[in-house]
Amino acid sequence: GESVGLHLPTLSVQEGDNSIINCAYSNSASDYFIWYKQESGKGPQFIIDIRSNMDKRQGQRVTVLLNKTVKHLSLQIAATQPGDSAVYFCAENSGGGADGLTFGKGTHLIIQP
Amino acid sequence: EAGVAQSPRYKIIEKRQSVAFWCNPISGHATLYWYQQILGQGPKLLIQFQNNGVVDDSQLPKDRFSAERLKGVDSTLKIQPAKLEDSAVYLCASSPGSGNTEAFFGQGTRLTVV
């Protein structure tokens, strides 16, 4: 089964509001996490990453929070814009020699005007 | 910097036919991945190359899928014979090296098996 998953398939927010997308993972050996954004007809695009020795990382308008105690990851998008509409995936890497990512099913973020 | 290039963008074939996809990674990237993304799901890793060697192919259905990266640059993924359930987007990604680093994705090839 999936080792990484998202709680909600769809999230609808008002333009200008903050968005929070959640992700749960089950592999306690995971040591690297990435959030990807995927627009229709395109490949996943890197947003932000975080390593297991951190609990928070900030980028431009985005923040990722990692809670290793409950194996939970979240992506916060500030002042959501129409261009943020996409499917968001969290992905994890358990390390070791092979470092292919394990993706969750994704959350579709819908921005309402 | 040019991104990951994939071709074709779309392919429609009948079941039991064969198909091949091509990927050209970002210049200098040693690691190349092929992912399968079924509609409504996240990408699933099929195979990972480090230069021209296979690092992980544990999720590749080897009875029908094959992949190669002979010169450590371009890669091809082949399906023979195709089944209806192979309908998906096939994504190629590359990263500079092994270890925990960001992977850069191409636009993918959308395969429809009828």
pLDDT tens by residue, chain A, 113 residues: 344 554 558 999 999 999 999 999 888 888 899 999 999 999 999 999 999 999 999 999 999 999 999 999 999 999 999 999 999 999 998 765 557 888 988 999 999 98
The contacts of residue A87 (CB under 8 Å, 6+ apart) are A37, A38, A39, A106, A107, A108, A109
Q: Is the CB of A103 less than 8 angstroms away from the CB of B106?
A: no
Q: Is the dihedral of CA B69, B70, B74, B80 positive or negative?
A: negative
Alpha-carbon gap, residue B7 to A18, rounded angstroms: 37
How confident is the model at residue A2, as a pLDDT?
40
Q: Whats the size of chain A, residue-wise?
A: 113
- Any A CB within 8 A of B45 CB: yes
The answer to whether the CB of A47 falls within 8 A of the CB of A75 is yes
Question: What phi, psi does A8 have (nearest 5°)?
Answer: -125, 135
Residue B23, beta-bridge partner list: B6, B75
Within a 10 A sphere around the Cβ of B15, how many other Cβ atoms? 13
- Residue B75's pLDDT band, with cuts at 50, 70 and 90, is very high
Average per-residue pLDDT in chain B?
A: 94
Q: Please indicate whether, in this complex, the C-beta atoms of A101 and B45 are within 8 angstroms of each other.
A: yes
Average pLDDT over residues B19-46: 95
Kindly determine whether residue A105 and residue B98, on different chains, have CB atoms separated by under 8 Å: no
So what's the pLDDT on residue B97?
75
